[in-house]
Structure 1
Amino acid sequence: MNDSDILTNPHPVYAAWRAEGPVRRVQLPSGEEVWMVTGYHVARAALTDGRLSKAPRDQDSYSDAGNAINRHMLSADPPDHTRLRRLVAAAFTTRRVEELRPRIEGIADALLDEMRGSDRVDLISAYAFPLPVQVICLLLGIPPAERDTFRAWSGTIAAGIDPTGEITGEDLRTTVEEFIAYLRGLIAHRHAHPGDDLLSALVSARDDEDRLSADELTSMAFLLLAAGHETTMNLIGNGVYLLLLRDRRQWERLRADRALLPAAIEEFLRYESPVELSTGRVATEDFTLGGQRIRAGDIVMVNLLAANRDPAHFESPDELIVERPRNPHVAFGHGIHHCLGAPLARVEGLVAFDKLLTGVPGLTLAVDPGELSWRPTTLMRSLRSLPVRTT
């Protein structure tokens, strides 16, 4: 199997790795060697193991740009993580998510109106990307007109940033610096002119006398913008791909019974997980994980996609079952780093599929399945495009 085949369908490779053991040494495309966790139970253990640090190994040597995008809760351990998450959670409430639902529905309706004006469209560009981007821009108070520039930045960063969070390569560094300058400008504007948006809430967020530093604010805005659309974009794109390509009968079942949608969303998250790999964790001491001796300083990465197909935990893991009754997947992680935006991603996914099933019930693939390709990113599981016909 060549690299292209693995990118298209990595599951046979991951199954072979799991058969040899839940943890193995692998070399990333960047050339760095890491320990890769592919078994479900070991994955959950690794995601909560205090001996695996989320703080980057060489954070003190980071460039200014590196510090400006890595001082967030995903790259921190307690007590820093606890402090950062508490400050952000105070602004990112369930109430905000529910209040957004009518706006999400309005965005989806408008995008579908545009789609129906063309017989053939790329579902990623026309729907799966702009829906969550418009939502996160609305949440953070960013003008929708700037979303295309943001997508170019985000795509470059997602494809190029390494598992430790450091920035390598001049093109990537330039992109990150442009993004940071933009975010700092937004933050400065919110300091002077606060509004009713999440970024303003982050700027003013306090816990007693504690508040986010300048780098922490920039990093959190960066994390929310990048992570706030990538997961949902991939959830929508991968889910539609599965329904139209794998089993059209499931599409018809969901059209007939929308009560199945919540379980179907969870199954899309499990079956073709939007985030393939967790960001790296660094061992702080020698210990044994899944039968392998991990040394202090080693990087451990959890393969969420592989863990979610582990037959030791999931019955018929390679079968897409939209009404799967029990589905404790790890698509959003596990433990203290479980995705804070998971409720928003789920609401966006439910609205996106409900509107698609209603608005374009005859949706079909517009190309041969063999023409579809996946983005060559280290962390994400994402189609480059998904051409469809709306009638």
Structure 2
Amino acid sequence: MSLPLNSQAYLRAPQDFLVPAQGESLFITQKLPFLGRCTLVLGHAECQEFLKDSDRFAVDARNAGADSPFGMKFLPKSLKRLSNNLLSLDDPDHRRLRRLVDQPFRRVSIDELKPRIREACDGLVHDMVKSGEPDLVEGLCRQLPLIVIYDLLGFSGALRERLDSLLQGLTATANIFNVLRGLTLLGPVQRMLEDEFERVRREPGPGLVTELVHAEADGERMSDDELVAMVFVLFIAGHETTKHLISTGLYTLLTTPGAADAYRAMDEDGRGIAVDELVRYCAPVQMTKPRYAREDTEFHGLHLKQGDRLVGMLAAANLDPRVFEDPVSLDLTRRPNRHMGWGGGPHICLGLHLARAEAQAAFDCLLDGWPGLTLGVDPDRLKWIPRSGLRGLKQLPVIFG
């Protein structure tokens, strides 16, 4: 059995495929683009277990007998340079780098950003209404995370403009041709970042880039390669996944009877709970990066050889009836909610508090400010991005009312 992960039918309603699959087995063997044969783990407890078990399972394939970080025989030079990043390293390197960047992403730091996030959101929606732009994906969902991450990193206005046009190609990876096109852009992006590092060495300013350039980890400053990889990962991870959370969350609130009005009636704490349920239910991040068996081992009856890949199917884990009551239903008041939308283990999402804040700002702005907000097209006509691992809409036209 395999899952049609890139099909419109699956992306429109993943639970229609994941629940039957989970009923048959907690494991599926499936080929994934670039990775090849992987075992998808569908159970909540099983996902939690192997994501936490860094003694048996590595993020870096080199720690499981491979020659390269991703277990691929060939990596372009520009991609190889980005391989030693926060998402692709095991401890102690992962812990060292994460400690450097952890403070700005803690809840208390994000709480201080919330007024600026809401101001940016209000401005984007105002511009959409003024210009007649109906597509929330382009006008809000893509733009808001870009503004926030640029501001957090402290990029200059000129660099923002240059990066924005280049990096659009890196997230348009629905097929192999777009992937190859995106890889050709990595070199220019890395050179731009190097120029920015050199600038802030001479002229320190506000923002995370300046902090990273001048920070020390275990007595040593980060190399340019580490800085490029860190900033690149923060930018991409902080942009695309949040974009999809906002678009799928709004889609769900507007298409589930009574959901939008229920959200409007909630207080601040209740809305935070609702956002977490939307993360669980919408599953904008469908799966984890692979973990590689460090040695021959057994995992819940699976016989794994060194280098074999396990992938946590987070979208399925969030539908596990052993953990969630009536998991296929949206319950904006669900508590407790032990969802795995942010992943798990040492590599749990660094930016989860930031993503929550951005999503809630978008939902508050649109649903409070526009009580008559509705979809501008039949939901069945909407197209989903056919990309394994993520779930997001190509467009989300609305009528502001």
TM-score by length of 2: 0.89
**In structure 1, distance between residues paired with 2:267 and 2:198:** 44
CA contact (8 A) 1:90 1:205 kept: no
Residue 42 of structure 1 pairs with residue 46 of structure 2: yes
Of the structure 1 ranges 9-18 and 295-304, higher mean CA displacement relative to structure 2 is found in 9-18
Equivalence for 1:328: 338
Equivalence for 1:55: 60
| Secondary structure, counterpart of 1:117 in structure 2 | helix
**In structure 1, distance between residues paired with 2:232 and 2:306:** 30
CA contact (8 A) 2:169 2:182 kept: no
Q: For structure 1, which runs of at least 5 residues remain unmatched after alignment?
A: 162-166
Offset, 1:311: 1.3
CA spacing shift, 1:207–1:32, aligned 2, 3 Å: closer
CA contact (8 A) 2:121 2:365 kept: yes
Of the structure 1 ranges 15-24 and 221-230, higher mean CA displacement relative to structure 2 is found in 15-24
CA contact (8 A) 1:37 1:302 kept: yes
**In structure 1, distance between residues paired with 2:97 and 2:308:** 26
Counterpart residue identity of residue 128, structure 2: M
- Partner residue of 2:161 out of 145, 155, 162: 145
Query: Deviations along 1:286-310, whole A, 9 cap, x unmatched?
Result: 2222332121111111111111111
- Partner residue of 2:24 out of 20, 33, 37: 20
**In structure 2, distance between residues paired with 1:108 and 1:266:** 20
| Secondary structure, counterpart of 2:87 in structure 1 | helix
Residue 202 of structure 1 pairs with residue 203 of structure 2: no
CA spacing shift, 1:369–1:168, aligned 2, 3 Å: closer
Offset, 1:209: 1.4
Offset, 1:181: 2.4
| 1:230-309 superposed matches below 5 A | 230-247=240-257, 249-259=258-268, 260-309=270-319
**In structure 2, distance between residues paired with 1:7 and 1:91:** 33
Query: Deviations along 1:142-169, whole A, 9 cap, x unmatched?
Result: 235346415513313x5469xxxxx996
Equivalence for 2:149: 136
CA spacing shift, 1:170–1:235, aligned 2, 3 Å: closer
Residue 310 of structure 1 pairs with residue 320 of structure 2: yes
CA contact (8 A) 2:244 2:391 kept: yes
**In structure 2, distance between residues paired with 1:148 and 1:77:** 31
CA contact (8 A) 2:133 2:139 kept: no
Counterpart residue identity of residue 88, structure 1: V
CA contact (8 A) 1:118 1:390 kept: no
**In structure 1, distance between residues paired with 2:180 and 2:263:** 47
Offset, 1:175: 2.2
Counterpart residue identity of residue 41, structure 1: A
Counterpart residue identity of residue 171, structure 2: G
CA contact (8 A) 1:119 1:389 kept: no
CA contact (8 A) 1:184 1:218 kept: yes
Counterpart residue identity of residue 374, structure 1: W
Counterpart residue identity of residue 121, structure 2: A
**In structure 2, distance between residues paired with 1:160 and 1:206:** 39
Equivalence for 1:107: 120
CA spacing shift, 1:151–1:49, aligned 2, 3 Å: same
CA contact (8 A) 1:112 1:359 kept: no
CA spacing shift, 1:66–1:274, aligned 2, 3 Å: same
CA spacing shift, 1:99–1:135, aligned 2, 3 Å: same
CA contact (8 A) 2:8 2:386 kept: no
Equivalence for 1:360: 370
Residue 71 of structure 1 pairs with residue 84 of structure 2: yes
| Secondary structure, counterpart of 1:127 in structure 2 | helix
Equivalence for 1:164: none
Q: Over aligned residues, Cα RMSD in angstroms? A: 2.3
**In structure 1, distance between residues paired with 2:380 and 2:60:** 40
Offset, 1:16: 2.4
Query: Deviations along 1:73-113, whole A, 9 cap, x unmatched?
Result: 21011111111111222554545423322211110110121
Residue 155 of structure 1 pairs with residue 171 of structure 2: yes
Query: Deviations along 1:204-233, whole A, 9 cap, x unmatched?
Result: 111351222211111110111001112221
| Secondary structure, counterpart of 1:97 in structure 2 | helix
CA contact (8 A) 1:282 1:298 kept: yes
**In structure 1, distance between residues paired with 2:298 and 2:322:** 20
Counterpart residue identity of residue 79, structure 1: P
TM-score by length of 1: 0.91
CA contact (8 A) 2:254 2:374 kept: yes
Counterpart residue identity of residue 149, structure 1: S
Runs of 4+ in 1 over 6 A off after TM superposition: none
Offset, 1:275: 0.9
Residue 375 of structure 1 pairs with residue 385 of structure 2: yes
Aligned residues: 384
**In structure 1, distance between residues paired with 2:283 and 2:179:** 28
**In structure 1, distance between residues paired with 2:129 and 2:93:** 48
**In structure 1, distance between residues paired with 2:77 and 2:256:** 46
Of the structure 1 ranges 337-346 and 93-102, higher mean CA displacement relative to structure 2 is found in 93-102
Equivalence for 1:84: 97
**In structure 1, distance between residues paired with 2:35 and 2:114:** 43
| Secondary structure, counterpart of 2:29 in structure 1 | strand
CA contact (8 A) 1:275 1:331 kept: yes
**In structure 2, distance between residues paired with 1:111 and 1:325:** 32
